[in-house]
A and B are shown apart, each in its own frame.
Chain A
Amino acid sequence: MNRMSILKNAAPEKADKTLSAKSRIGRPWSLRVRLLTIIGVSLVTLWSLVAVWMLIDVRRELRTALDDRLAASARMVAGLVMQLPRESMALGKPMESALDVVARDGLACEVSLLRGEVTMQPVARTTSSPGLADVQPGYSTRSFGGKLWRTYVLQEGGIRIATADRIDVRESLLRDIALTAGIPFAVALAGSLLLLWFGIGSGLRPIEKVRAALARRGPSNTAPLPETQAPPELRPLVDTIAHLVGRMQEAMARERRFTDDAAHELRTPLTGIKTHLQVMRLATRKADGALVAQQALADVERGVLRLQNTLDQLLLLARLDGSLQPAPQGRSFADAAARLAIDDAQAGQPAKGRVRLVLPNRTIELAVPESLLVCALRNLLDNAMRYSTVPSEVVLRVEMDENQAVAFCVCDEGPGLSKADCALATQRFWRRGTASQGSGLGLSIVSEIASRYAGSLQLRPRNPAGLEACLKFPENFTHQTTADMAPASGY
């Protein structure tokens, strides 16, 4: 297996891994599950706390109530015993065994006669009684035969009444109560979770509606989003989406306009070239066609030049447009760049010396690559020379303006532009009126270069006629080298 095939095989594996990792980590919970979890957990926690609280309360109340019952029973038995003639008890000799009474409700009771301080004689007791002879008066909890009992002892008028009930009976009673109250509670909790599931579903339906409305739209649908009856919470989201869609459509329309314009700009000179070539072919067949053929040839050359110019401009603009790449770095001197631009601009012109250069008294260095600065200045000069008639002067003035920015101002005496046109002129493929010489990209390029290097391009009509185009780069993008005198003016 050669290296390439190893690489080829390795790639899908990696892709698989990243995919599965993504699905494992990236899959968010559905809104419904999320809401249900949050509400459900808080509901269960809260209600459980309440339940525990209630259980503790009930337990305490139950204990008090049962204790009261023990005391009440003791008092009742004491009352009954008091009514009996004392003799009937005292008469009898000490009984061999106490009277055993069958008790029914789990309550144990012992009745004894007190003789002196310590001895006592049991009189009667329930069969379930564990033997309460040595229990202290009042309440206490004792263990008899491994079982816990709650006891109450009442001593009154020589009679001792001891009552007791079993703790485990009490506990089972408490369990029964908890169970009786708890089952409906649990059912209600489960029911409310179920209702919550459906409730959240129907609560989220507006989102689904909005989603469906969005899904129905095709990418070419330019209509604004339909006015769905979104609840107030969703309104910002819907508005944001509508806004985003609007901006995307604007961008798409702009792109399309640009493509259309570019097609127009490229196809028009191409059409001219093609037509003139066909004219040439036709003319050479005719006896008197030499002049026409010559003219056509000249036109073909003009067309090719124009096409080349437009292509160059478009490519430059596309490169400048790639805003993802950092702007190319470089430095240039204002005076050198201005001279180069003037040379370039006048190269193809029959009338030389139309451009006058005015320089400041010092050398200015800019953090703009020379090629781009020259290109921008050349475009401004080209425009100035194109739209003004031949004998009139074009001035390129380099100066520091009041904000310590370097300004390259190109002034012509042509027809100028209205204020409204000045605002439009940096748009791509914008051209003034019938002028068809330019590609309509020059000022776009200048403005693009300016914005890439934190500069600006300002156009304003001159008084009484002409246009002033000022390309400025801010001060922090410049630094002075020396105070050496540069030639003051003249070129």
Chain B
Amino acid sequence: MHILLIEDDELVARGVTAGLRLHGLTVDWVGTAAAAQAALDSFHFDVCILDLGLPDEDGMALLRRWRTRGQSLPVLVLTARDAVEYRVEGLQAGADDYLLKPFDLDELLARLHALHRRAAGRSVNQVNHGSLSFLASTGEVALEGARIDLSRRELALLRALLQHPQRVLSAERLRDSLYGFEQEVESNAINVHIYHLRRKLGPNIVETVRGQGYRLGAAGW
């Protein structure tokens, strides 16, 4: 899951980034509305965490602009302002969820997973794909009931494929989901993770669509 964190406070941003990364999520942090817009224009994100007090623009205005432009990225608003009217205003501006500072990292994680799940049209935490079952909140993977250990990147790759089971995802898109935009990665880095995923979950779990990208295939042997 590729998260865009828009937060002007460095301390909070570093904490959230570190915490979510420890949970196996890919997090990119920007400090201003302008940077957020630039990031959103050039990368794919699954969920956005938006702090309302941004230095260059009100977070609410940014969100409203996104929604009027048809940007459907799930947005979780993070704020220290707790008056009810702020929450109502936030939700009316197009926020999908609202979390008050100081929050619990586990709660943030659960809500991010819920938003991600809802965006894929699922209402339960567990994803079943053939003989493969995947617990979105904890990242536990089982094949025919047997638990499989996956590395952080492998998990991120599987999560991205499971989120859009019918769609062909480009290599860049998958790279965004795995690494975020901060890291310089070599062009074949994804292939390594695809190779490991095929070794652990069956040779057809990732289908290569020539010239376009990759797609989720059948699990198991």
Tell me whether A278 and B81 are in contact (CB under 8 A).
no
B27 CB to nearest A CB, Å: 12
Q: How far is the CA of A383 from the CA of B18 in the complex (A)?
A: 30
Q: Is the Cβ of B53 less than 8 Å from the Cβ of A269?
A: no
B9: Cβ under 8 A from any A Cβ? yes
Of chain A, the residue at the smallest CB distance from B78 is A271
Which of chain A's residues have a CB closer than 8 A to the CB of B8?
A: 434, 436
Q: Counting CB contacts under 8 A, is B140 at the interface? A: no
- Docked Cα-Cα span, A292 to B21, in Å, equals 11
* Complex-state Cα separation, A63 to B10, whole angstroms: 111
Is residue A303 within 8 Å, beta carbon to beta carbon, of the partner chain?
yes
Which of chain B's residues have a CB closer than 8 A to the CB of A235?
A: none
| Chain B residue at smallest Cβ distance from A270 | B102
Question: CA of A263 to CA of B14 in the docked complex: distance in angstroms?
Answer: 21
Among A267, A292, A436, the residue within 8 A (CB) of B10 is A436
| CA A306 to CA B19, docked complex, whole Å | 21
Residues of A within 8 Å of B12, CB to CB, are: 268, 271-272, 275
Contact A271 B56 (CB under 8 A): no
Chain B positions within 8 Å of A303 at CB level: 11
Closest CB in chain B relative to A424 CB, distance in Å: 13
Question: Beta-carbon contacts of A20-50 to B below 8 Å, as 1s and 0s?
Answer: 0000000000000000000000000000000
Q: Tell me which of B32, B102, B106 contacts A267 (CB under 8 A).
A: B102
A276-B15 CB under 8 A given contacts A282-B22, A283-B22, A436-B9: yes
- Chain B contact-residue range equals 20 to 34
A176 CB–B CB distance under 8 Å:
no
Judging by beta carbons under 8 Å apart, are A299 and B14 in contact? yes
Let me know if A264 is at the binding interface, CB within 8 A: yes
Does B65 lie at the interface of the complex (its beta carbon under 8 Å from any beta carbon of A)?
A: no
A263 close to B102 (CB less than 8 A): no
Q: In the complex, A260 Cα to B80 Cα: how many Å? A: 8
A317 located at the interface, meaning its Cβ lies under 8 Å from any Cβ of chain B in the complex: no
Q: Are B18 and A264 in contact (CB under 8 A)?
A: no
- In this complex, the member of B8, B11, B101 whose beta carbon has the largest number of chain A beta carbons within 10 angstroms is B11
Q: Are A289 and B81 in contact, with the CB atoms below 8 A? A: no
B184 interfacial contact with A, CB 8 Å: no
CB-CB < 8 A to B82: which residues of A?
Answer: 263
Report whether B15 and A272 are in contact in the complex, using a CB–CB cutoff of 8 Å. Answer: yes
B101 adjacent to A434 (CB under 8 Å): no
Contact A260 B101 (CB under 8 A): no
Determine if A434 and B32 form an interchain contact, defined as CB atoms under 8 angstroms apart: yes
Closest Cβ–Cβ distance, residue B87 to chain A (whole Å) = 13
For the complex, is A296 an interface residue (Cβ under 8 Å from B)? yes
Cα–Cα, bound, A433→B106 (Å) = 31
Nearest-Cβ distance from residue B184 to partner chain A, whole angstroms: 21
Q: Determine the chain A residues whose CB is within 8 A of the CB of B22 once the complex forms.
A: 279, 282-283, 286, 289, 292
Known: A263-B80, A263-B82, A286-B22. A275 touches B9 (CB 8 A): no
For the complex, is B105 an interface residue (Cβ under 8 Å from A)?
yes
Are B81 and A299 closer than 8 Å at their CB atoms? no
Q: A303-B11, A434-B32 are in contact. Are A295 and B18 (CB under 8 A)?
A: yes
Determine the distance from Cα of A268 to Cα of B16 in the docked complex, in whole angstroms. 12
Q: Report which of A279, A286, A289 forms a contact with B15, defined as CB distance below 8 A.
A: A279
Interface presence of A419 (CB below 8 A): no
Supposing A274-B102, A275-B105, A434-B8 touch, asked if A292 and B55 sit within 8 A by C-beta, the answer is no
Q: Which residues in chain A, 284-324, are within 8 Å of chain B measured between CB atoms?
A: 286, 289, 292, 295-296, 299, 302-303, 306
**Chain B residue with Cβ nearest A307:** B11
Task: Across the interface, name the chain A residue whose C-beta is closest to B81.
Answer: A260
CB-CB under 8 A for A271 and B18, given A263-B82, A433-B56 = no
Known: A272-B9, A295-B18, A433-B55; 18 extra A-B contacts, CB below 8 A, are A267-B102, A268-B11, A268-B80, A269-B11, A270-B101, A270-B102, A271-B103, A274-B102, A274-B103, A274-B105, A275-B12, A276-B15, A282-B19, A295-B14, A299-B14, A434-B32, A434-B55, A434-B56
Which residues of chain B have a CB within 8 Å of any CB of chain A? 8-12, 14-16, 18-19, 22-23, 31-32, 53, 55-56, 79-83, 101-106
The 7 closest A-B pairs by CB, nearest first: A275-B15, A272-B11, A267-B80, A271-B102, A264-B80, A278-B105, A271-B101
Q: Can you give 30 contacting A-B residue pairs, CB < 8 Å?
A: A260-B83, A263-B81, A263-B82, A264-B80, A266-B80, A268-B80, A271-B9, A271-B15, A271-B103, A272-B12, A274-B15, A274-B104, A275-B15, A275-B102, A275-B103, A275-B105, A276-B11, A276-B15, A276-B18, A278-B106, A279-B18, A282-B19, A282-B23, A292-B18, A292-B22, A299-B14, A299-B15, A434-B8, A436-B8, A436-B10
